[in-house]
Amino acid sequence: MDALHPFVKIRRDLHRIPELGFQEYKTQSYLLNYIESLAGEHVEIKKWRTGLFVKVKGTNPSKLIGYRADIDGLPIEEQTDYEFKSEHLGRMHACGHDLHMSIALGVMTSVVSNRLKDDVLFIFQPAEEGPGGALPMLQSEIMIEWKPDILFALHIAPEYEVGTIATKTGLLFANTSELYIDLKGKGGHAAYPHLTNDMIVAGCNLVTQLQSIISRNVNPLDSAVITIGKITGGTVQNIIAENARLEGTIRTLSEQSMVKVKKRIEELVNGIEIGYQCEAKIDYGAMYHQVYNESETTLEFMNFVREQPDVTLFECNEAMTGEDFGYMIKDIPGFMFWLGVKSDFGLHHSKLTPNEDAIPVAIELISNYLQFKGN
């Protein structure tokens, strides 16, 4: 039987211990443990909340190249058949951050043993799924001092075969905003609806109305999404619900559409308040800036990928996914790309099973890219 690739083993170790945003204590300690085993005078480690900055010094640096990997998991009960399944009840690495971390550790190992001329900053970022670690990390004293000259990141893509690298210049990921709507009416006996204001009925009606914003208020050529992923409300089956809460997310390709969608949400919620004689509160939670790939660095990377024997470049369209990495490359030139990991189940699914062959492929590609870019 073939021995397990060392970074596949690391991915599996990390897969067992998914933690939510800003609670990544075990993850941080696992990463630290590994990175300290590499450490020498050329490796400088700084902790930032539950994340890490690791600088691998070059031999004669003229720039700092940044590479970011996100580290948090999701509130999902895993349903894979893995023998290395999540050990944390109701938590899962269902967005591939376990692969993102193991690939970054593999690249770091290669850069430490094969130093570049330039410095490389590895950023292990907490809370990508929410409430967002990129912006506070970017504003931290550490990153102000260690501000990369260029910066990149990857995201696994279950829809592409292993060996596919997909990206484009310009807009890659949408603008996002979380959406929380609390409704408060008047509860009462299930048999006396005329004496109550039922927030289950109001909430369901609102969910349906929200869909009309996308179909009737947003230019069809400027896509947007409103997804309500969770509804809670009521107490038991024979009591009319006094409260309901809708939790969702808004995605838009343009920043103007985000403003417009929010304005329409507020108008419709206002209508619900009047129509159902209830009180409503809207909270937008975390918002992420779009991921916009800077032309020069992206084109250079795309040309580099085209020359590599084991990978194929695919020029993809933009996606409605969000990523707070968008904040990091708002002012620092850089890019993000998709890494093919073919899985029958997609991102945020309880049965996501990325093909681990993508791990060595990515480590080799990124290590070679860094040798090309940083020497």
Ligand X SMILES: CC(=O)N[C@@H](CCC[C@H](N)C(=O)O)C(=O)O
Catalytically annotated residues? 70, 129
Give the alpha-carbon dihedral of 33, 64, 315, 349, to 10 degrees.
30
Determine how many CB atoms are found less than 10 A away from the CB of residue 211: 11
In the bound state with ligand X, the residue whose beta carbon lies nearer, of 242 and 324, is: 324
How many residues in the chain? 375
**Smaller CB distance to ligand X: residue 20 or 111?**
20
Phi and psi at 192, nearest 5°, equal -125, 60
> Which CB, 58 or 326, lies closer to ligand X?
326
- Amino acid present at 136: P
3-state secondary structure of 281: strand
Tell me how far, at minimum, the Cβ of 339 lies from ligand X, in Å. 12
Burial 75-104 (b: 16+ CB within 10 A, else e): ebebebeeeeebebeebbbbbbbbbbbbbb
Binding site for ligand X (CB under 6 A): 95, 129-130, 155, 176, 178, 249, 286, 288, 321-323, 347
Nearer to ligand X, 27 or 252 (CB): 252
Q: CB 372 → ligand X: shortest distance, Å?
A: 27
Separation of CA 220 from chain center: 26
Closest by Cα among 128, 225, 135, 212 to 175: 225
CB of 296 to ligand X, least distance (A): 25
Write down the least CB distance from residue 285 to ligand X, Å: 7
Q: How far is the CB of 37 from ligand X (least distance, A)?
A: 30
Q: Which is nearer to ligand X, 247 or 364 (CB)?
A: 247
Nearest in space to 177 (alpha carbons), one of 258, 263, 254, 256: 258
Distances (CA, A) of 140 to 55, 129, 157: 15, 19, 30
